[in-house]
Structures are given as structure tokens and as C-alpha cells.
Amino acid sequence: MRPCEVCKGEKILKSPGFTAVSGEVYPPTERACISCEGRGEFPEIDVANILKRILVSQGKNKGKVKAAFPSPFRSESVNATRAYYVWRMARFHGGKDVTMPMTASMMSRGDPFRDELDAIVDQVAKAAFGTDLAAALRWKGLLY
């Protein structure tokens, strides 16, 4: 287990109160951290669970990366969110879907295991699509 990078393991997010230019007063608030859903920490990565979620399990495409994935906004667990991140980023880096993966980045916000997830992404992209540099080649003009 590692502490959430957003709430630093506190489980809550605090917002100071303020007075708007219009004079409206907003009191201080506290709410459960949206990144860790109030748990304060993230469990170790379950690679087998992630691969089970992102790979086709039967038929002619068995063992290949799925072409579609359920919405991460209805995810039931941190494993589902991590699987979406790996699936989407692998498709991005592998060149299968080279539009910017903004949802994947937002969904993994606060996860202290993101570096490890990125290592899995690179391995999946190379194995499934033959490269993990397709997106870099496409976007290099914009990024450099």
C-alpha cells in the first residue's frame, strides 16, 4: 500500500472558505478524496487482474488487446481504473489510437503506482502492437 498522492493519505480534501468578488461567502469544506475515494491509500498493482481485463479471453482474437473498453467512470474498483489506464495508454503508445488519452490520465490521478503502470503500458504496447513509440512519433512535432 502507498498513500494517495492527492490527499497524502489523509482521506479527505479540504477547501478553504473564501468570499467571491460578488460578495457571496463560501465556507470551508471537507470531502472524501476523489482520487482514492476516501481510502487514503492505493493497493499494490495486480498485473494478472489488469491483463485479464484488457485482453480478449475467447474467440479468434484471444490474447489480443481489446478494441473497446467499458467507461472508467463506472468502475467498481481501483483495478478497473488501472486496467483502463493500461489499456488506453498501450493503444496510444502502440499507435492503435493516437488521440491524446486525457481520460486515462485523469482517471489515474493520485495513484502512487503510476510509474509501475507506465512500465506495464510499455510492455503491453510492444507485445501487442510491436512498438511503444508510435504516439511519440506522431506527436513529436507538437511536443518538441
pLDDT in tens, 95-110: 999 888 998 989 899 9
Burial class of residue 28 (count of CB atoms within 10 Å of its CB; 0-12, 13-18, 19+): exposed
pLDDT of residue 119: 97
Mean pLDDT across the chain, nearest whole number? 92
* Extents of the domains making up the chain: 2-32, 44-143
Cell of 139: 506527436
Q: Which residues of the chain fall short of a pLDDT of 50?
A: none
What local confidence, expressed as pLDDT, does residue 143 receive?
A: 66
What pLDDT score does 98 carry? 84
Phi-psi region of 133 (alpha: psi -120 to 50; beta: other; left: phi over 0): alpha
